[in-house]
Each structure stands twice: as C-alpha cells, then as structure tokens.
Amino acid sequence: MDTRIDFLYLNEPDMLKAGVTDMAGCVASMEEMFKCLGVGDYLMGGANANSHGIMLAFPDKPEHPGMPQNGPDRRYMAMPAYLGGPFQITGMKWYGSNVENKAKGLPRSILMVWLNDKDTGAPLALLSANLLSAYRTGAIPGVGAKYLARQDARVVGVIGPGVMSKTALESFMVARPAIDTVQICGRSQGGIDSFTAFVKAKFPQITNIKVVRSFEAAVDGADIISVATSSPLGIENYPYFNEKWLKPGALFTLPGAIRFDDEFLLQRAGIVVDNWKLYEAWGEEIPFPAYAVIPLLGAHLVDLVHEQKIERAQIRDIGEIIAGKIPARKSEDEIIVMSIGGMPVEDLAWGMTLYRKAVQMGLGTKLNLWEQPALV
C-alpha cells in the first residue's frame, strides 16, 4: 500500500503562470460553481452548512501580554467548504487581516487556500490566494451581468474605485464587451487616478471616462453599477441610492455597503442574492438586526424577513436562475439589485481550476508530508 503523500505549493508567481488573472476563465468557473449551488451540491461550515466562516477577533482590551488588540479589519478567518459538480473538492480559505499592514508595504489581508482530497482529507495543494480571492470576488458581478444586465448595456457606474471595482469591471467587460463608458465616484484622488489609469491601459475600447462627485452622477444613465466602498459604521452612513436616480433596467452589483428606501426594495426592485442560505446563516449567527453589523443588502433582507415585511419568494438566487429554475428578469425595465457576500466555495472553484492547470503545466513546488505516517 502506497502511503506517501505529496502536495503542491503554488506561490504567487506560480499562480500568475497558471492564469489566476484570466477573468474570462474565472467567470466561467464561478458560473459552474453557481450551478452547483443551484442544485444544492455544496457544503460550507457551521451547523447550518452555509456559514461564511469562523472568525477569530481580538479583544478591545487584551488582558494578557502579547495578545493583539482589536482594530480596523483586525481578525483571522477560516472558511471551509466542499464543492461538488465538476470540482469534487474540499478545502479552506485562511487569512489574517490588519489595516496596519499597509504601513509595512503589505496587503491588508494575507490569504492562503488549502485544497484537500474529499475522501481522505490529504492535502492536494496550498495556494497563494490574494490574487485568487480578488479575481473570484470580481468575477461574481460578471456572472450577474451575464444573466441580469440588459443585452444593450454600455455604461458602468463605479462607486468605490478600488481593487474590487477593478476586477468587477474586468468581469463586466467579459459579460458585456460593448461597454464604452465608465463613471467613477470615489473619496480618494489617488484611488480615482489609479482606477482611471487602469481603465485606459486595460480597456482602450472604453472611450468615455467620467470622474463625478456624487453617487447620483455616478449612476446617471448607468446600465450596470458596482458599489464596493469600505464599510462605514452606522446604517445611516451606508451609501444611499434613490430610485429616482436610476435608469430603467439598471443592475446593481453589491459586494459593499448599500442603502435603499425599503419601499423600493419591497415593491418594485428585482432582488437577487448570490446565496440566500448564506444570509440566513448570518441571521442565525448574529443578533437581530444583522444589517447593523453586516452592511450588505442580503443582511438587510434577512432583517426584513424577520420583521415579516418581505416574502422569501421575492428574493431570487442567482444559482437557481442559472440552473433555469426561475427567470432572471420580469421585464427589460426592472431595476435589479444583487447582493454579494463572498463564499469559500468560490475560492475552491477557482483554486481547483488553477491547480489542475498548474499540474498540467508542471508548476509549483512539490512538498512531502510523509513517506509513511508515524501514527496510524
């Protein structure tokens, strides 16, 4: 019996060679992942099997020497999952986050992904995952644009021109290559300049780049809108958008904080989520109101269900839309809002795709766990 276990370590240069920044490939992988979700062929952590993950947070006033103190984005997170379909993989994303990293020339979060054999639990690969996570996050709005945006979409509104909006725009261009206008609203001039330079270099076919000073101007005439701002404290400080500002048929993709009038959400908006069970899990794990802690649209929907103001039937799952169980749009003029929460099944889908490519290309460093286990 062969008991030797080797696994592959892929550093960031290896991941780049394997195609981690191939947005078209990433969108295709996310679409396959959503098909698995649409038929229930997946598991995530927690008692409800749909938890975003398990977070280790530090205290505001540590009692012990050497224990870190709580601060902005100061946490560790473990995000386990199983994904079936064409992936057939278990694994976990693991990361530490600290906003003070930026002063050290490091990303705020440093991410790794483990891929494990679904039967034995043996490690298959350890992946550098900052780029993996950024691209899988950006690809989700592209899947939304493919199924939910109008076919004639040409104008994109960007609120929060950071990394998430850069990758989201890449995915929009995969889904709707006729896009020729981007309207940018951001707080930092450096962020705006960086985003503008990115658009000019990456997409010369986008001939109209507008920098605007208000949310209203950013969404004026926009067919697709990406809202990816940092998370402010207090619901009243979440970015607010008035229905009157919006073009008929517009699509919002929302991986960040957001606020709409409830009347619009309850009576006229088309509401889509990446996975309703994810938000239900948050509702079980976090005391009501969840929206006060998690500034995502999906968390607000959980609260509205809790208050019996909205029916579950009003909320559409993108996985069910892709699986053909429910229609995407009620009309061409329906304004659709899509909540994006982030799930470890996304990391596994893109990670497994890249791992298979890396094996074919002979990339990475093979590491040995053991020839024979010392304890059996």
- The pLDDT of residue 232 is above 80: no
> How many domains does one find in the chain?
2
Instruction: Note whether 129 and 143 are same-domain residues.
Output: no
pLDDT 10s digits, 164-219: 999 999 999 999 999 999 999 999 999 999 999 999 999 999 999 999 999 999 99
Quick one: pLDDT at residue 146? 97
Quick one: pLDDT at residue 280? 95
Is 223 part of a structural domain of the chain? yes
pLDDT interval class at 52 (50, 70, 90): very high
Instruction: Note whether 148 and 117 are same-domain residues.
Output: no
pLDDT interval class at 72 (50, 70, 90): confident
- C-alpha distances in Å from residue 12, one per residue of 112, 127, 363: 10, 8, 11
- The pLDDT of residue 236 is above 80: yes
d(CA 347, CA 29): 10
Per DSSP, 309 falls in state: S
Instruction: Note whether 61 and 159 are same-domain residues.
Output: no
- The pLDDT of residue 61 is above 90: yes
Instruction: Note whether 104 and 208 are same-domain residues.
Output: no
CATH number of the domain where residue 334 is located? 3.40.50.720
Buried/exposed code over 315-333 (b: 16+ C-beta within 10 A; e: otherwise): bbbbbbbbbeeeebbeeee
Asked if residue 25 lies in contact with residue 141, where contact means CB atoms within 8 angstroms, the answer is no
Asked if residue 343 lies in contact with residue 137, where contact means CB atoms within 8 angstroms, the answer is no
Asked if residue 23 lies in contact with residue 171, where contact means CB atoms within 8 angstroms, the answer is yes
Asked if residue 343 lies in contact with residue 163, where contact means CB atoms within 8 angstroms, the answer is no
Q: Which of 227, 210, 267, 273 is nearest to 243 (CA)?
A: 267
Instruction: Note whether 126 and 271 are same-domain residues.
Output: no
pLDDT 10s digits, 136-154: 999 999 999 999 999 999 9
How far is CA 148 from its chain centroid? 17
Q: For the residues 313-335, what does the mean pLDDT come to? A: 94
Is 375 part of a structural domain of the chain? no
Q: How many CA atoms lie within 13 A of 74 on its CB side?
A: 11
Is 220 part of a structural domain of the chain? yes
Per DSSP, 270 falls in state: E
Instruction: Note whether 123 and 239 are same-domain residues.
Output: no
- The pLDDT of residue 225 is above 80: yes
Quick one: pLDDT at residue 1? 80
Instruction: Note whether 193 and 323 are same-domain residues.
Output: yes
Instruction: Note whether 14 and 127 are same-domain residues.
Output: yes
Instruction: Note whether 128 and 160 are same-domain residues.
Output: no
Q: At what angle do helices 130-148 and 344-361 cross, to 10 degrees?
A: 110
For the chain, how long is the longest CA-to-CA vector?
A: 69
Instruction: Note whether 74 and 153 are same-domain residues.
Output: no
CATH number of the domain where residue 99 is located? 3.30.1780.10
Instruction: Note whether 123 and 235 are same-domain residues.
Output: no
Instruction: Note whether 304 and 363 are same-domain residues.
Output: no
Domain encompassing residue 72: 5-133+345-370
d(CA 1, CA 302): 51
Quick one: pLDDT at residue 233? 79
